[in-house]
Amino acid sequence: MSIALLWILVGVVLILSELMLTSVVAVFLGIGAIVTGLLVHWGLIDEMSIQFAVFGTVSLVTLLLARGRIKQWFTGYTADHDETKPNFQRDIGARVTVVKEFKHGAGRVLLNGVQWDAFSEDELNVGDTAWVIANEGIQLTVQKKRMPVQTKEGNS
């Protein structure tokens, strides 16, 4: 196997490995390897040190010039572009029903058909209505008084 073919095969493997990775770096190393392999095949470079220099230079230049544009092809849709609130923020302001009396500030509430552990500074009894003021993952903080509705500008 010639050194030119080896460079080209390494380049193809690197580009294909990008299908498994999402860093969008291996594709540029693959381009550098393929360009180096072609230059060796055409007899434009011979020495191993020049081959590695070409490989490094082409990989770095293509990485710096095109990574941002090409990365968009590989990433697809991400939640970062979603304008809606995350699930835990959607619950804030929601009405809940108390299903277990609050003792020492702790009880249980029903939100969207699911029972949650909850905390409150208010006295709450079974059947009372409360409002979610915070969501700490698996526990809610609720209060008896409804929070004012916030507009986008933060005015009530």
| pLDDT tens, residue by residue, 127-147 | 999 999 988 878 899 998 877
pLDDT of residue 75: 57
pLDDT-derived band at 84, boundaries 50, 70, 90: low
Q: Do the bridges between strand 114-119 and strand 139-143 make them parallel or antiparallel, or are there none, so unpaired?
A: parallel
Using pLDDT thresholds of 50, 70 and 90, give the confidence band for residue 81. Answer: very low
Residue 86, pLDDT above cutoff 60: no
| Residue 85, token pair as written in the block | 């609130």
Confidence at residue 142, expressed as pLDDT on a 0 to 100 scale: 93
Structure tokens at 36: 């180096």
pLDDT of residue 78: 52
Average pLDDT over residues 93-109: 92
Beta-bridged to residue 115, according to DSSP, are: 110
3-state secondary structure of 145: coil
Tell the CATH superfamily of the 87-143 domain: Nucleic acid-binding proteins (2.40.50.140)
What backbone torsions phi and psi does residue 106 show, to the nearest 5 degrees? -120, 140
Q: Where are the domains of the chain?
A: 3-77, 87-143
